[in-house]
Homo-oligomer: A and B are copies of this chain.
Amino acid sequence: MKINKYPQKEIWPELVKRPVIKREQLTELIAGIFNEVDKNGDQALIDFNKKFDKAEIKNIKVSEEEIEISENLISQELKFAIQQAKENITKFHASQISEIQKIETTKGVVCWRENRAIEKVGIYIPGGTAPLFSTVLMLAIPAQLAGCKEIILCTPPDKNGNINPAILYTAKLCGVTKIFKIGGAQAIAAMTLGTESIPNVYKIFGPGNQYVVAAKEFAQKYNVAIDMPAGPSEVLVIADEQSIPEYCAADLLSQAEHGSDSQVIFISIDLKILEETIKEIVKQIKELPRNEFAQQSLKNSHFILLKSIDEALEFSNLYAPEHLILALKDFEKYITKIQNAGSVFLGNYSCESAGDYASGTNHTLPTNGFAKNYSGVSLDSFAKKITFQNLSQEGLQNLGKTIEIMAEAEGLFAHKNAVSIRLK
């Protein structure tokens, strides 16, 4: 962890570059998996489970019984926690429901938008080192609020053919309609193409490894939409002379433990705080079970000393972090200067974990600089907005001439005629 003191603006573009992820050329492999699932349906999935997840499963659909039992397999304490998180996430996402607003743009011409849920959506929850039931909350809650009729979930089974009970419990609590024991690219293929038991969906959400990411990209060739382009998780923390190094270090480490490709950036305008935060990291990291990930991830990271918070925000806007923490007492005055970020955490008590789990905001956010051009997941991600218009006879009289002139100028006479014939 080397401190970069007052880097010249010329080298900022170097500093904001993400670590290059070696992406193998997976297209052929993925196409093969899609082809197999298309041809052999459920049987292909059963075979893939055996091959990739070493699980021998007859029924890929999780049974009602398995879901019921899950409730008894997790602690009361965890159930309460999941319920409190659900309440907050529901409150925040429900506040995003918009009223229909009819606008009379010209007398007799009324236009408005109405939301319609995407009818069928798929959620992918990875297996691996952590059972991400929090991601189930973040995706199933807005899907249910939006009114999606079919909300299916795919997640890989363990070797014994089981799914983590916290995932099953959360899925049931949040209105997931069907759960399937299937992971990897084959899960994405199944949700794209449909099989005997798995319905095809119109949009696929959720994180995953490089195979899942490549499969989501591939799925788009079949006109399926996806939540957003993927990249490793990241945080940028901005501190001043009043920030608390212990807290800053904890926040940086909570990002670093995600995986060896996570990136953390720490910017301080005070050298002492910068040095003390590094000391705190060295101290706190020893206690972490995921110490190795964190160590690896810190190698990709930057500790930067800048002159002012304004300059720090300029850097941050160039980097466009997934998570931005303003570890500042007087954060208020800087909010309008934030241009590019996925989610922002303000002040000493707003740790990233709060948003990751339970404050109410969504944790599915744009990474890899995509905060410049994408929003995180919200209620809108599960619905389309349809525009409506109604012109009365008077409305068309008021607007008709304009339409006729414009259509003619574009050389589109049938467009013009659709008006003329009505005004005759």
Contacting pair B346 A389 (CB below 8 A): yes
Instruction: Give chain B residues whose Cβ lies under 8 Å from the Cβ of A360.
Output: 103, 105-106, 109, 111, 389
With a cutoff of 8 Å between Cβ atoms, the chain B residues found around residue A224 in the complex are 373
Chain B residues, CB < 8 A from A416 = 353
Binds B, one of A53-61, A89-97, A185-193, A305-313: A89-97
CA distance A391 to B81 in the complex (A): 18
Q: Is A354 an interface residue (CB 8 A)?
A: yes
Instruction: Decide if A35 is an interface residue (CB 8 Å cutoff).
Output: no
Q: Which of B78, B346, B378, B388 lies in contact with A343, CB distance below 8 A?
A: B388
A417 close to B254 (CB less than 8 A): yes
Determine if A421 and B390 form an interchain contact, defined as CB atoms under 8 angstroms apart. no
A15 interface hit (Cβ, 8 Å): no
Binds B, one of A154-162, A266-274, A396-404: A396-404
CB distance from A60 to the nearest CB of B (A): 24
Question: Which residues of A (318-356) have their CB < 8 Å from a CB of B?
Answer: 331, 335, 338-356
Contacting pair A223 B130 (CB below 8 A): no
Q: Mark A238-253, 1 if CB is under 8 A from B, else 0.
A: 0000000011001101
Evaluate contact between B288 and A413: CB separation under 8 angstroms. yes
Whether A391 and B353, one on each chain, are in contact in the complex, defined by CB atoms closer than 8 angstroms, is no
Q: Are A359 and B118 within 8 A (Cβ)?
A: no
> Complex formed: what's the CA distance from A402 to B347 in Å?
20
Contact check, A119 vs B356: say whether CB atoms are below 8 A apart.
Answer: no
The B-contacting residues of A in range 376-391, CB under 8 angstroms, are 376, 378, 380, 384-391
Q: Is A111 touching B388 in the complex (CB atoms < 8 A)? A: no
Do residues B109 and A253 form an inter-chain contact, with CB atoms below 8 A? no
- The closest CB in chain B to the CB of A352 belongs to B418
Note all chain B residues with C-beta closer than 8 A to A357.
Answer: 402-403, 406-407, 415
Residue of B nearest to A201 (CB): B373
Judge whether B257 and A410 touch: CB under 8 Å.
no
B352–A81 CB distance below 8 A: no
A–B pairs, 6, beta carbons within 8 Å:
A81-B406, A106-B359, A118-B373, A119-B372, A344-B386, A354-B399
